[in-house]
Homo-oligomer: A and B are copies of this chain.
Amino acid sequence: MPDHPGLARGSRLIEEDAASPAVRAVYEDIKATRRVDRVNNFWRALAVHPPTLERTWESVKQVMAPGALDPLTKELLYVAVSVTNGCEYCIASHTAAARARGMTDEQYGELLAVVGMANETNALANGFAVPVDEVFRTVS
């Protein structure tokens, strides 16, 4: 089993050759769906609790599939949430995914500019206790 010099606080990662058949089936589906050779650490950590691995993968697979929004836009949204929450792992993995889907430096800069501005104006709206305009309350 490989060594993990950067292994964080007691986290355990289930290696592919140590995985149960059920876990291995999820790993194979991840690799096939994403066309990658290696399952990234997030899934190998979730494999400690197989029901969470299976449910989360099924949900992510469904949610991130192409639909009314294209896959790059979905990755940008994922980064926006992860940056707002300060989740280092998720920023790293979804920035990589967005780059793999074609995100340019310019797009990344604009993404972060919007995310920064939204976090600022969220605070300003709270602080100034701005009442919602009637026009925003109407379902069109």
List residues of A whose CB falls within 8 A of some B CB: 4, 6-13, 38, 40-42, 45-46, 48-49, 51-52, 55-56, 59-60, 62-64, 67-69, 73-74, 76-96, 99, 104-140
Contacts and interface: CB of A to CB of B under 8 A. Distances in A.
Of A40, A52, A79, A125, most B-chain CB atoms within 10 Å: A125
B92 A136 contact: yes
Closest 3 CB pairs of A and B: A49-B109, A81-B118, A120-B120
Assembly stoichiometry (copies): 6
Contact of A123 (B119, B125, B128): B119
A82 B122 contact: yes
B115 A123 contact: yes
Given A11-B129, A85-B86, A52 B118 contact: no
A133 to B, nearest CB: 5
A106 B38 CA distance: 26
A82 B132 CA distance: 14
Contacts of A134: 6
B117 A60 contact: yes
Contact of A119 (B67, B120, B132): B120
Of A4, A118, A133, most B-chain CB atoms within 10 Å: A118
Of A55, A79, A123, most B-chain CB atoms within 10 Å: A123
Nearest to A62: B55
